[in-house]
Structure 1
Amino acid sequence: MRINRIKLVTEMARQGITQLQLAEQSGLSRTTISGVQNGRSCSNVTAIKIADTLKVPIESLLEN
């Protein structure tokens, strides 16, 4: 699954959340969050954890 990095960075900025905070709150590593932010694909579980932590629908973060 590929999260749109611009959408992710924009949502994180809107919420004022850092990579480290997102990692800690989602239970993922900072390396994983960094990779997703840099355009790497991720598992469905990882994408869902990120969306759930940000409290946004998964569809709002995915590539079109």
Structure 2
Amino acid sequence: MAMLDSNQNALQLAEKSGVSRVTISGVKCGKSCSKSTAEKLAKALNVPVEQLIEE
């Protein structure tokens, strides 16, 4: 996840994005998330949402 590249930990990303740490941890471990959550994370990481999508 781009979080690693941005030097933010899960707590910092949670605070910045408004997404819970539990959700962030789940996404980081490969669980899916809603479009809204992905958009919030992308905005907080300052990356396009497409960059967060793994194929």
Shared fold by TM > 0.5?
yes
Matched letter for residue 41 of structure 1:
S
Query: Which residue in 2 is equivalent to 1:28?
Result: 19
Aligned alpha-carbon RMSD (Å): 0.8
Q: What residue ranges of structure 2 are gaps of 5+ in the alignment?
A: none
Q: What residue ranges of structure 1 are gaps of 5+ in the alignment?
A: 1-7
Paired residues, what number?
A: 55
1:47 and 2:35 correspond? no
Q: Structure 2: how far apart are the matches of 1:32 and 1:13?
A: 16
Structure 1 runs, 4 residues or longer, greater than 3 Å off: none
Query: Which residue in 2 is equivalent to 1:12?
Result: 3
TM-score (norm 2): 0.91
